[in-house]
Amino acid sequence: MVSSSIVYNGRDFGLIYLCDNYPNCDGYVGVHKGTNQPLGRLANAELREWKKKAHAAFNPLYESGQMSRKQAYKLMQSLMNMDEKEAHIGKFDVEQCKTLIEKLAEYRQSQKSR
């Protein structure tokens, strides 16, 4: 566990778990403030990019006021066939991020045709 300033060019956003082989592996994950609990799974550059895309597809559900955050996560659980503990983008791998993006597009399309 090290300061995130290592990966954010001197800006410290708290502690992270950093891959021992950094920068070759490029994997890291932040931790919940005041704990040693990771925010998700160790992510390399590719996975971080897909997580950003998944958040860009998911977050507008509740940020727009279309539904509450709790309702959005319930929808994610349903779309991904996951329980409450599993249904978090921070825990997803690349394929799960892609699947969520696909399923959200299908969901939005189904809402338009109502």
Give the pLDDT of residue 43.
93
The CA distance from 3 to 8, in Å, is 9
Q: What percent of the chain has pLDDT over 90?
A: 83
Range of the domain at 20: 1-42
Phi, psi of 15 (to 5 degrees): -85, 150
Number of folded domains that form the chain: 2
pLDDT digits (tens, 9 = 90+) for 14-31: 999 998 886 778 899 999
**Domain shared by 68 and 24, yes or no:** no
How confident is the model at residue 113, as a pLDDT?
A: 79
29 SS3 class: strand
* pLDDT, tens only, 65-84: 999 999 999 999 999 999 99
Same domain, 52 and 101: yes
Claim to verify: residue 61 and residue 97 sit in the same structural domain: yes
